[in-house]
Amino acid sequence: MKADAKTPWGGRFEKSPGRFLTEFGASLPVDQRMWAEDIRGSVAHARMLANQGIISEADADAIEEGLSQIYREIREGSFVFDIADEDVHMAIERVLTERIGPAGARLHTARSRNDQVATDTRLHVKAIIVDLAHRTLCIRRTLLRLADEHFGVVMPGYTHLQKAQPVLFSHHLLAYEAMFARDFTRMKHAFEAADVLPLGSAALAGTTFDLDRDYVAARLGFSRVSVNSMDAVSDRDFLLDFIYACAVAQMHLSRLAEEIILWSTEEFGFITLDDEFSTGSSIMPQKKNPDFAELVRGKTGRVVGDLTALLVTMKGLPLAYNKDMQEDKEGAFDAADTLAASLRAMNGMLDTMRVNADAMRLGALGGYMAATDLADHLVSRGVPFRDAHEVVGRLVLACEKDGRTLQSLTLEEYRKHDPRFGEDVREVVDIDRVVERRVSAGGTGHDAVRVQIKTVAAGIAADEAWLEQAEG
């Protein structure tokens, strides 16, 4: 096929790729979602070129006016993208040049698609992070509200999915808030990693033109400019940081989804999901399935896959830019879209579910979950902990054989196992008191959880302030 003079490299080639290779090599289906960032970057670049006397003010005016018209058309849906343009940059530049002539052809002065796409991607990822940070804050607020509303509700806590010790439902919810708070911090770090302007690095070696990169950075909202042009065009660490943050957040959602799935079963009965967040069976009329929680859990694999894919793509690339890097955005966008949808679904489930406090409390009465307190009780009366542990273990074994609970035993029955049990032993195994006695900082005791609620509220407020600044 004869070389197409419209391609950005047509002068060097006698042949152009055919239709199949054009489509195979095109990134337009993926990167066209960065159209707004591409236009923003081009306007800033054109204004800087004019300020530096590299192009005329008239050319810069024509470029900005032409790009503004294209912006409106894309936003309204009337702009037609052509796969032959290969990527979003050429699609916009081609139409601009067709409309305003030589001024449009001067726009690409002192830049390459290498530093252009890196700039667009960083701008777009920063915007995505702001959106995901908002969604993360929403689920944290919901968890905080539920912890406050259901304060005092006791439920069984588990290790190895076996009943271990009773905890406040509020305490359990705030454990997930702590996870999402760390996710917010990871998003902040990913934002800071992306907050570097690569434009001005050109293909890899910089440019002969005297550019004002600080002006472009300030206009586009970057806090700093890249310090090495080769690294700037080949760096995708910021995307790895971002996808990693998405993968960990999705994993946390998956853990919470697993609990919701378990809690909503008849065997647990701790919560009832709203009908809007459940589905039925095509054959069993009685079924109410937690399908959307299962989907959140299931979609975690694809986000982890997005991270793995980019790590593998980048692992063998020499400096500087390589076409392999075109594969960087699809996984990043997929991870972002998947996490955004999962956060929305999970927040809706939490916000509308019914908490069955009686079922939780009943669950907390089983499993001999006051056993540790009984051992501590004996320790307080001078019994070495290992001896106390053995005494209580034998006591639990006897209760299991007789079908008894620790709460059902009398003082005399306790003392038959060990005369060192005190008069207050029945108070020791009272579930509410078992919880209240967890007074250590960060524990499940009432006072400790009240402190956590205040700390969480303050943390959310601080993150809201950061987000407001990031949006500005």
- pLDDT per residue as tens digits for the range 172-226: 999 999 999 999 999 999 999 999 999 999 999 999 999 999 999 999 999 999 9
Would the pLDDT of 104 be above 80?
yes
Mean pLDDT score, 111-133:
98
User: So what CATH class is 124-357?
Assistant: mainly alpha
- pLDDT per residue as tens digits for the range 145-174: 999 999 999 999 999 999 999 999 999 999
Give the type of residue at 221: G
Three-class secondary structure of residue 313 per DSSP = helix
List the catalytic residues.
160, 281
Fold of 10-109: Fumarase C; Chain B, domain 1 (1.10.275)
Contacts of 213 (CB under 8 A, 6+ apart): 48, 197, 199, 200, 225
Instruction: Look at residue 3 in the predicted model and tell me its pLDDT.
Output: 52
Q: Is 67 left (phi over 0), alpha (psi -120 to 50) or beta?
A: alpha
- The Cα–Cα gap between 240 and 224 comes to 20
Mean pLDDT score, 4-24:
72
Instruction: Quote the percentage of the chain above a pLDDT of 90.
Output: 89
Could you tell me which residue, 53 or 369, shows the higher pLDDT? 53
- pLDDT per residue as tens digits for the range 440-468: 999 999 999 999 999 999 999 999 999 99
- The Cα–Cα gap between 246 and 306 comes to 10
Contacts of 332 (CB under 8 A, 6+ apart): 121, 125, 239, 242, 243, 306, 310
Instruction: Look at residue 173 in the predicted model and tell me its pLDDT.
Output: 98
Instruction: Look at residue 9 in the predicted model and tell me its pLDDT.
Output: 59
Confidence of residue 6 (pLDDT cuts 50, 70, 90): low
Instruction: Look at residue 22 in the predicted model and tell me its pLDDT.
Output: 80
Instruction: Look at residue 1 in the predicted model and tell me its pLDDT.
Output: 47
Would the pLDDT of 5 be above 50?
no
Would the pLDDT of 245 be above 70?
yes
Would the pLDDT of 139 be above 90?
yes
Mean pLDDT score, 329-351:
98
Would the pLDDT of 4 be above 60?
no
Per domain, the residue ranges of the chain are 10-109, 124-357, 364-450
- The Cα–Cα gap between 37 and 15 comes to 32
Confidence of residue 253 (pLDDT cuts 50, 70, 90): very high
pTM equals 0.92
Between 126-135, 230-239, 415-424, the lowest mean confidence (pLDDT) is in 415-424
Q: Is 160 left (phi over 0), alpha (psi -120 to 50) or beta?
A: left
Contacts of 471 (CB under 8 A, 6+ apart): 130
Would the pLDDT of 370 be above 70?
yes
Q: Do the beta carbons of residue 331 and residue 309 sit within 8 Å?
A: yes
* CATH, domain range 364-450: 1.10.40.30
Would the pLDDT of 426 be above 70?
yes
